[in-house]
Amino acid sequence: MKAVIINKFGALEGSIIKTGLDIPRPARNEVLIKVKAAGVNRPDILQRQGLYKIPSDASPIMGLEVAGEIVEVGIDVTKRKQGEYVCALVPGGGYAEYVVTNETHCLPIPEGLSMEEAAGLCECLFTVWINMVKLGQLKENEKFLVHGGSSGIGMFAIQLAKQLGATVLTTVKNQKKADFCYSLGADKVVKYDTEDFHNVFKSKKWKLDIDLILDMIGGDYFEKNVDLLSDEGRLVSIAFLKGNSVNLDLSKLMLKRIKLTGSTLRPRTVAFKGKIASELLGTVWPLLTSRKIRIHIDTVFPLEKFKDAHILMENGNHLGKIILSLD
């Protein structure tokens, strides 16, 4: 089997393509997928850099989402069958020709989507559903702010929030990214290369009290987020690109009855992820089929060009998803 192996944490030179590896075998409730395409996500970068601790029972190979063909099933598998094409959330191992995952973490390829498009669905949609819908409890007519609107998570959060009837606000780096977010349905986009989102949303023109903020930035964004929240507003943190240390004014938390929470996906139980997959199948998958929610692929790289994919992700110049092709 061919896969990307991390020989040394840190720079890209420490990761290589290696062949002749053993093909993993599915456990009783797992399926073996012949990978056609794999999504590239920020945790992959952090794992390569040695900054992201992986679960002890997970593959050390990068890659958290794939699309491909089920070529073998475990003896207790009942929901999936050999020869079926699926997209899947995987516990690691996606940057490889074969990967195993629990059968309940597989979803059908939405009608009309390519393998490359399907490979970019699971990691971001699972994350958005858990944090925006379940933890964040976004409701119709609420004001919702997601930072990083042109990222994979931002792309899906904007569209799903609009489907839920929310007013959607977001922040991005430049005009190109702003135009992309407006095309997805965002109501207001702040370009942080020329504007301060806190000042914009506090200005007389907008004067917004935001009900829910989905934040992947952390650092000095935290205080600004808290100040923008409405009474009983919610702040859900899913990453901290600007640092995990923040200043918190407890008086604002108490006076406005603000709720602070956050989560990470990878350490959650098999059963929890399976439940999320089932919820997505009944709610979001029909929206993908009808194109009410769509995925935008910035660039598809062959697996051998994974370093170029990581450079693009680290530069932050992409729109939507970056995909590795193994077909």
What confidence tens digit (pLDDT) does each residue in 124-168 have? Answer: 999 999 999 999 999 999 999 999 999 999 999 999 999 999 999
CATH superfamily to which 3-120+266-325 belongs: Medium-chain alcohol dehydrogenases, catalytic domain (3.90.180.10)
pLDDT at 100: 98
Domain with CATH 3.90.180.10 in the chain: 3-120+266-325
> Is 80 exceeded by the pLDDT of residue 185?
yes
Site of tokens 């995952």: 101
Average of pLDDT values for 181-208? 90
pLDDT digits 0-9 by tens, 284-295: 999 999 999 999
Q: What percent of the chain has pLDDT over 90?
A: 90
Sign of CA dihedral 169, 175, 179, 180: negative
Collapse the DSSP code of 179 into the 3-class scheme (helix H, G, I; strand E, B; otherwise coil) and give the result.
helix
Average of pLDDT values for 206-211? 85
Collapse the DSSP code of 204 into the 3-class scheme (helix H, G, I; strand E, B; otherwise coil) and give the result.
coil
Domain with CATH 3.40.50.720 in the chain: 125-262
Q: Which residues pair with 188 in a beta bridge?
A: 169
pLDDT at 293: 98
- Counting other chains too, the contacts that 297-304 makes at CB distance below 8 Å and 24 or more residues apart are 297/116, 297/117, 297/120, 297/321, 297/322, 297/323, 298/322, 299/323, 300/37, 300/116, 300/324, 300/325, 301/325, 302/326, 303/2, 303/4, 303/17, 303/38, 303/95, 304/17
- pLDDT classification of 245: cutoffs 50, 70, 90: confident
Longest Cα–Cα distance of the chain, Å, equals 63
Burial of 301 (0-12, 13-18, 19+ CB in 10 A): middle
Domain 125-262 has CATH 3.40.50.720: yes
